[in-house]
Amino acid sequence: MIYCFFLKKESEGQDFQFYPGKLGSRIYENISKEAWNIWKVKQTILINEKRLNMLNVKDRKMLEKEMIKFFFGNNKIVS
């Protein structure tokens, strides 16, 4: 169990770190399994609506920025 920064409550933590690097560690430690599943739905919508290509570095960086805003608001995070 962790305190989920996104849901603002105690919730089941993730089974393993889904995202690499420092950002991935912060997500693993502060974002619950439930919140991650909510993000996956939002991520799919963003990819489809903005026609993002996950092979394109620029598109992946844009999606990462959206993920940071989604989970942590306007807090600056070094990834």
CB atoms within 10 A of CB 52: 17
Determine, yes or no, domain membership for 28: yes
Structure tokens at 28: 């693993």
Rounded Cα gap, residues 13 and 2, in angstroms: 6
Decide if pLDDT at 74 tops 90: no
Determine, yes or no, domain membership for 10: yes
CA distances from 26 to 5, 50, 54 (A): 10, 26, 22
For the entire predicted model, the pTM comes to: 0.85
In three-state secondary structure terms, 9 is strand
Determine, yes or no, domain membership for 53: yes
pLDDT tens across 34-63, in order?
Answer: 999 999 999 999 999 999 999 999 999 999
**Host domain of residue 27:** 2-72
Domain of 68: which CATH number?
A: 1.10.3880.10
Determine, yes or no, domain membership for 77: no
Determine, yes or no, domain membership for 78: no
